[in-house]
Amino acid sequence: MDDLLAFVSPPGCRLGRPLILKALTGSTNDDARALANAGAGHGTVVLADAQTAGRGRLGRAWSSPAGENLYLSVVWRSGLDAIEPPLLALGAGLAVSEALDGFTPTPTAVKWPNDVRHRGRKLAGLLAEAIYRGTQPSAVILGLGVNVRGAVMPEAIAEIATSLRIVRGDDPGRAAVLSSLLERLDATLGRLCADGFGAIRQRLIERCENIGARVSIGEVSGVAIDIDPTGALRVRDDQGVVHAVRAGEIR
Ligand code: BT5
């Protein structure tokens, strides 16, 4: 992991100060949560070269081999009195997609709510977990897995996943990708917290591959028409009824 040892957060970026680098851990989200519970400040980042228990949503596993990808978790504390955790997660997906566009030959897209894909294959996933003090969130842990250097994806996900190395034909370098991710997360989520979801909503809609396409999510099937001001995916079913879907997974 020599490529990551010398990493320094870009000038002016509030994320990655401090940045704790681990050769091996269970899950960076668990590490970041423990640090946040012990008082770690906004922008603290835990980065691992490999995870033994990397996880996605609903207890699913996140493939986390050593030396290939980025596995990181950001402690986000700013603006949580104004912005709800699900909107922060939507904004983070947008930021990651925008950052990764700097490394792909054609643009990436967001699959609602926050997968980042390239030509229908998953390039990055996000696991946002809020820590509450009473009813108020005191921090959101933004856990991010980005496939960077793998030339071949593990067999179990070979059909659905891809990496920057595969889509560009060469390795862009983990440090360069990390730098861009932290800068874009800082800028986009900073804007979201300062000016509200309306300030980034159109950018997200333009990047969301599901808008205008048929989707099935939970009990609802129809055409996704937009993302409403609360972050819900609006779906028009075959009877013309519009549903605002707040959570779930598009099949
Ligand atoms: C996610 O879950 O997409 C969120 C993944 C977040 C991972 C990061 S790594 C750093 C931090 N620490 C953690 O422990 N987690 C976060 P979900 O939408 O549930 O997607 C999981 C599904 O994606 C799996 O069931 C597989 O089908 C697929 N998958 C697993 N590993 C993958 C990979 N490396 N690349 C692409 N797809 C993968």
Write out pLDDT tens, residues 63-117.
Answer: 999 999 999 999 999 999 999 999 999 999 999 999 999 999 999 999 999 999 9
Write out pLDDT tens, residues 183-231.
Answer: 999 999 999 999 999 999 999 999 999 999 999 999 999 999 999 999 9
Q: Find the helix or strand (DSSP H, E) in which 223 lies.
A: strand 220-227
142 and 128 in contact (C-beta within 8 Å)? Answer: yes
Query: In this structure, is the dihedral angle defined by the CA atoms of residues 96, 116, 191 and 86, taken in order, positive or negative?
Result: negative
DSSP 240: S
- Whole-number pLDDT of residue 6: 86
Q: Find the helix or strand (DSSP H, E) in which 20 lies.
A: strand 19-22
Ligand 1 near 54 CB (within 6 A):
yes
Ligand 1 near 112 CB (within 6 A):
no
Q: Which domains does the chain have, with CATH numbers?
A: 2-207 (3.30.930.10), 214-245 (no CATH)
Query: Nearest residue CA, atom 11 of ligand 1?
Result: 143
Ligand 1 near 32 CB (within 6 A):
no
Ligand 1 geometric centre to CA of 50 (Å): 13
CA-nearest of 186, 182, 175 to 69 is 175
Ligand 1 geometric centre to CA of 54 (Å): 7
- Whole-number pLDDT of residue 1: 86
User: Between helices 85-100 and 174-195, what is the axis angle to 10°?
Assistant: 140
Ligand 1 geometric centre to CA of 110 (Å): 15
CA 168 – CA 151 distance, rounded (Å): 10
Q: What does 125-153 look like in DSSP terms, one character per residue?
A: EEEEEEEEETTEEEEEEEEEEE--S-SS-
CA 109 – CA 114 distance, rounded (Å): 10
DSSP helix/strand/coil, 58 = helix
- Whole-number pLDDT of residue 170: 97
Look up the pTM and report it.
0.98
Ligand 1 near 126 CB (within 6 A):
yes
User: Between helices 85-100 and 198-207, what is the axis angle to 10°?
Assistant: 50
